[in-house]
Amino acid sequence: MSASPPYREITLKGIAAAPGIAFGRVYVFRKDELVVQERRVAPGEIEGEIGRLQSSIDRSKKELTKILAFAEEKLGPAQAKIFEAQLLILDDVVLFDSVNKRIRYERMNAEFILHDEMEKYFRLMSSARESYARDRAMDLEEVRNRILRNLQEQKLTSRFDGSFVIAAHSLGAADAMILSRNNVLAYVTEAGGATSHMALLARALKIPTVAGVHQVLQHLGEETEVIVDGYSGTVVVNPSPTTAREYRGRLREHEVFEGTLSELRDLPAETLDGHRVTLAVNLELREELDFILKQGSDGVGLYRSETLLIGKEVFPSEEQQFQEYRAIAEAMAPLRVIIRTFDIGGDKLMTQQTRENNPFLGWRGIRIMLDKPQVFLDQLRAILRASARRNVAIMFPMVSNIKEVRLARQLIEQAKDELRAKGIPFDESLSVGVMVEVPAAAVIAEDLAREVQFLSIGTNDLIQYLLAVDRGNDIVSELYQEFHPAVIRFLRRIIERGKGGGVWVGMCGEMAGDPLATMLLVGLGLDEFSVVPNMLPEIKKIIRSIHFNEAKHLADRVLAMDTEDEIRQYLTAVMRQKFPDIPLAQGQPVPERLT
Ligand code: PEP
Ligand code: MG
């Protein structure tokens, strides 16, 4: 690789979306911009317009069915699910009925009405805090664009000869899949982030990807030479021979490091001086189980059972839930699976719509379930039945007082009585736990500890309630600080009081899977970490490379600091020094050194 003058080397930063380092020439993948024009349709043309829409939907179905088959063949059914979800949108009778009705009544063209109608759902879903709702938004957007392209009869070229780094303004999951039929060295996009479906697929396809590189296309022509570093989120345009050598060296180091991560699989999460913690994973969909089992976890620390409600109008029956819970418990056995009872309300899935001025301070989680004892009992019986192998525990979300826990426990006893009466087996000594995600629960942690067998800290909600910051609100998102001194001191309190009360204390919020927080949390005495599956090897690596005393010392220092900046900079400096290979806070600028 050479970059002789007049080419100038330029380094651009983006978001590390799929790991790996690639060297090669660029192929710019261009899609015409979708322009949706508003056009009146004469009464005599309306049926033709509806027919045109239907043909585009049919064509989109054909295309997606092909992509689904290709994805299943290449990646297996679990990863291919993205396209099943997209196909389901094309079968949404309610959506397309209302589009057709509007074309008739409003006498506007199909593109305009379709775009407008789907935009409503898209906005609703994309503003949600829950990742699966935002996933739905991504699918909706991709499907909408596919139908629109078919309506406008746009053609895309997705075949090319040779090996290339594909650069594009944006790529959908289907684009990433289709393009991978060629020899793709890497993906670089101007839009998108690490959590998009496209990034997920790129990781499964093992194609290094950097997303969100601002205006990268301006610097690229056909065949420009680049280096794509999907570990650090860097793209080097026209690299000099010295830079290329440097990156080849980095690539070798990463290969060695990844080799050590996979060696950790069967080793316990314990410090160099033998302090053992439980390292579990958060589970949202059953399809992730294969991947989770390969990662070498100690179990599932949080199964978000409300994902069973996606796309449902009514709550699933006890039997349907039992089948699901049993499949998960069996796949994980003998490892423990903590099933959280439906956490709905707030901005999460609801089977019925309620109007609340302040939904986050409203009817959410356990509050709803206690108000619907029959629904709650169905779920509790289903979980109990799945516990026959003694590896299941139950956890309640959004608890804010002791009474809620006592009422929920009474319902568990009632469910047990009903099963006993029918001679149905279950685990008589099944553990029950409470999520600590409302500040009030944190304050009464020792009282809660007397009622249950474990506490699990839900930092995602706890931080927003403690700091009075809606993390979905861009205006104040900078105030949502994981390392705010109040958060750290609160965590210490929950852990100390909970353990003092005789129970183990875990964490299933995102903070548990943030490498920057690992040493601190070990030092604070956290017993269990439940993390997003792909972060597990890194977190285990950190735990296995430190001494407990050193972590406690670090926690003491952090507890004495009074700003989030100071804490973050200190933790970053420690991590950079001890673990230079572990990427920190993807996409966010992290301070270089202690000031
Ligand atoms: C949390 O609040 O930290 C948590 C794990 O629950 P969820 O993100 O599902 O609200
Ligand atoms: Mg929560």
Q: Residue 19: is the preceding peptide bond cis (ω within 30°)?
A: no
| Calpha distance 391→430 (Å, rounded) | 8
**Domain 264-578 listed as CATH 3.20.20.60:** yes
Ligand 1 pocket member 458 (CB < 6 A): yes
Ligand 1 pocket member 460 (CB < 6 A): yes
| Calpha distance 448→429 (Å, rounded) | 18
Name the closest ligand to CA 508: 1
Phi, psi of 107 (to 5 degrees): 50, 50
Which residue's alpha carbon is nearest to atom 9 within ligand 1? 304
Catalytic residue among 169, 508, 547, 553: 508
The beta-strand segments (E) located in 115-215 are: 163-168, 183-189, 209-211
The pLDDT score that the predictor gives to residue 585 is: 54
Q: Is 219 a catalytic residue?
A: no
Tokens of 330: 């069996």
The pLDDT score that the predictor gives to residue 26 is: 95
Counting other chains too, the contacts that 491-495 makes at CB distance below 8 Å and 24 or more residues apart are 491/457, 491/459, 491/521, 491/524, 491/526, 492/524, 492/555, 492/559, 493/442, 493/445, 494/436, 494/442, 494/445, 494/455, 494/457, 495/457, 495/524, 495/525, 495/526
Ligand 1 pocket member 506 (CB < 6 A): no
Ligand 1 pocket member 306 (CB < 6 A): no
CB 531 within 8 A of CB 267: no
| Calpha distance 343→368 (Å, rounded) | 9
Tokens of 587: 């996409």
Q: Which CATH number fits domain 10-31+157-260: 3.40.920.10, 3.40.50.720, 3.50.30.10, 1.10.3720.10?
A: 3.50.30.10
Burial class of residue 84 (count of CB atoms within 10 Å of its CB; 0-12, 13-18, 19+): middle
The pLDDT score that the predictor gives to residue 590 is: 31
The pLDDT score that the predictor gives to residue 472 is: 65
Ligand 1 pocket member 345 (CB < 6 A): no
DSSP state of 266: T
For 15, the enclosing helix (H) or strand (E) is strand 15-18
Q: Is 547 a catalytic residue?
A: no
Ligand 1 pocket member 459 (CB < 6 A): yes
Q: 281 CA distance to ligand 1 centroid (A)?
A: 13
The pLDDT score that the predictor gives to residue 587 is: 36
C-beta neighbour count of 316 within 10 angstroms:
18
**Domain boundary assignment for the chain:** 10-31+157-260, 43-151, 264-578
The pLDDT score that the predictor gives to residue 138 is: 82
The pLDDT score that the predictor gives to residue 588 is: 37
The pLDDT score that the predictor gives to residue 532 is: 84
Query: What distances in angstroms separate CA 65 from CA 2, 58, 155, one per listed residue?
Result: 42, 11, 18
Counting other chains too, the contacts that 509-514 makes at CB distance below 8 Å and 24 or more residues apart are 509/437, 509/457, 509/458, 509/459, 509/460, 509/461, 509/462, 509/463, 510/459, 510/460, 510/482, 511/459, 511/463, 511/482, 512/459, 512/539, 513/282, 513/539, 514/482, 514/585
Name the closest ligand to CA 302: 1
Q: 524 CA distance to ligand 2 centroid (A)?
A: 21
Of residues 490, 497, 467, 457, the one with CA closest to residue 558: 490
Ligand 1 pocket member 230 (CB < 6 A): no
Asked whether this chain's domains 10-31+157-260 and 43-151 adopt the same fold, the reply is no
The residue type found at 277 is V
| Calpha distance 182→103 (Å, rounded) | 40
| Calpha distance 565→572 (Å, rounded) | 10
Q: Residue 580: is the preceding peptide bond cis (ω within 30°)?
A: no
The pLDDT score that the predictor gives to residue 584 is: 66
Q: pTM to 2 decimals? A: 0.70
Counting other chains too, the contacts that 588-593 makes at CB distance below 8 Å and 24 or more residues apart are 591/565, 593/569
| Calpha distance 47→44 (Å, rounded) | 7
Low-confidence ranges of the chain (pLDDT < 70): 1-6, 32, 128-132, 195, 311, 347-353, 471-474, 583-595
Which residue's alpha carbon is nearest to atom 7 within ligand 1? 460
Q: 509 CA distance to ligand 2 centroid (A)?
A: 7
Q: From 364, 508, 530, give the residue whose CB has the most ligand 1 atoms within 8 Å, as the site to mutate.
A: 508
The pLDDT score that the predictor gives to residue 285 is: 78
Q: Residue 187 pairs with which residues in a beta bridge?
A: 166, 209
Packed helices 548-559 and 564-578: angle between N→C axes, nearest 10 degrees: 160
Q: What is the CATH number of domain 43-151?
A: 1.10.274.10
